[in-house]
Structure 1
């Protein structure tokens, strides 16, 4: 006779967390199908199988649901980032993060939902504030990771870590959006991205400032050589004395 194992009862906090997750999943399903503004709270309640009172106990409005989705999205990203913080091979870790994002948004609907959340943040101040806070924490965490790698001599110390973190984040977001349109990220593009990261972050990177070459030395023209001795200077004329003058005059008489 098989013995059934009784499930460990959940605490009130665990049950509340699970209800919250269920509501977000159901809302996400509705948003993927109809978009934020075309989805009503009643549709979310129907999808999750709860009454309006139960749903409003966790989220006061549809905006609150969207904001929570944005916050959960970046929380997962920060958790992933923390797993690679102490890596010995930063370019390889960034490559792994890139592929994790690609896998996370492999479904067109997931990539579209992420894009729509960010677009909503530009129109909705409440959602925008949540996204801005989450983005700041993400970029700061990534910049700290880059600085740690710089201190260890793993990447170019001349890089501006904060700006590099912003650029990397923008590139990852671009890959997700591109994937939503092409349905996949070609392996060749992923390999190119990896190669670009290694070249960009390499400690062997040198300044792209061109150094003006020194002018070529002018040829030295040797002085001509002469085989003859210089002519002797003419002797200075001797002024005759008075006695010599008198003697010359007497010889003429």
Structure 2
């Protein structure tokens, strides 16, 4: 199944969800079309599976992010996998494709909304834990922190789509916004 998902992911990053055919996915994955349908009853089911994997990856990144010491070095190391690698750029391309699919497909839109709701609750818990550890001020509002950092990250991911060579600059921009939002001392 992983082989199929990897092949599909490669096709979707290169050609998009709708321009990629099952036969192209079959060739990229090195499996038969029948094998694909054994695991995924439709191309939409394959798309949903990849979206769910992306959402898991995003949740994992957020969890790792909030478990750092919030130093520039720690944040840069964490974001380097996204902003400084070809694989990270593929993630950005796939996330843009997922957002577009959410605008067209009500099932995907619902999946994304539900995931976002869960992520917000998770981030609030992580922020409160950081406040209890004394990493950030108790006066900071978890809603405002979540909103601002999410908007900044999504904006930088969009910029990264078109300017992958600017990855280091984007990491630095994110850290400045992060430090400002959390009122971290340099």
Unaligned runs of 5+ residues in structure 2 are: none
Q: Does 1:194 align with 2:186?
A: no
Q: Normalized per residue, which structure has more helix?
A: 2
Which residue is 2:43 aligned to?
62
Which residue is 1:152 aligned to?
133
Which residue is 1:134 aligned to?
115
Which residue is 1:118 aligned to?
99
Looking at structure 2, the residues matched to 189 and 33 of structure 1 have their Cα atoms a distance apart, in angstroms, of 23
Task: Compute the displacement of 1:75 (Å).
Answer: 0.9
The higher radius of gyration belongs to: 1
Looking at structure 2, the residues matched to 177 and 41 of structure 1 have their Cα atoms a distance apart, in angstroms, of 28
Report if aligned partners of 1:74, 1:138 keep a CA contact under 8 Å in 2. Answer: no
Unaligned runs of 5+ residues in structure 1 are: 1-19, 205-253
Report if aligned partners of 2:145, 2:181 keep a CA contact under 8 Å in 1. Answer: no
Looking at structure 1, the residues matched to 140 and 41 of structure 2 have their Cα atoms a distance apart, in angstroms, of 44
Looking at structure 1, the residues matched to 151 and 132 of structure 2 have their Cα atoms a distance apart, in angstroms, of 24
Structure 2 counterpart of 1:173, from 142, 146, 154 = 154
Report if aligned partners of 1:63, 1:127 keep a CA contact under 8 Å in 2. Answer: no
Q: Does 1:24 align with 2:11?
A: no
Looking at structure 2, the residues matched to 111 and 203 of structure 1 have their Cα atoms a distance apart, in angstroms, of 28
What SS does structure 2 have at the residue aligned with 1:36? coil
> TM-score, normalized by length of structure 2?
0.81
What are the equivalent positions in structure 2 for 1:26-65 lying under 5 Å apart? Answer: 26-65=7-46
Q: What is the Cα-based RMSD across aligned positions, in Å?
A: 2.7
Looking at structure 1, the residues matched to 2 and 23 of structure 2 have their Cα atoms a distance apart, in angstroms, of 17
> TM-score, normalized by length of structure 1?
0.62
Q: Does 1:90 align with 2:43?
A: no
**When the two structures are aligned, how many residues end up with a matched partner?**
184
Task: Compute the displacement of 1:162 (Å).
Answer: 2.7
Residues 200-241 of structure 1: CA deviation (Å, up to 9, x unaligned): 21278xxxxxxxxxxxxxxxxxxxxxxxxxxxxxxxxxxxxx
Task: Compute the displacement of 1:23 (Å).
Answer: 0.8
Residues 188-211 of structure 1: CA deviation (Å, up to 9, x unaligned): 45334323322321278xxxxxxx
Report if aligned partners of 2:81, 2:88 keep a CA contact under 8 Å in 1. Answer: no
Task: Compute the displacement of 1:106 (Å).
Answer: 5.9
Query: With CA pairs under 8 Å and 6+ residues apart, which has the higher RCO, 1 or 2?
Result: 2
Looking at structure 1, the residues matched to 32 and 9 of structure 2 have their Cα atoms a distance apart, in angstroms, of 18
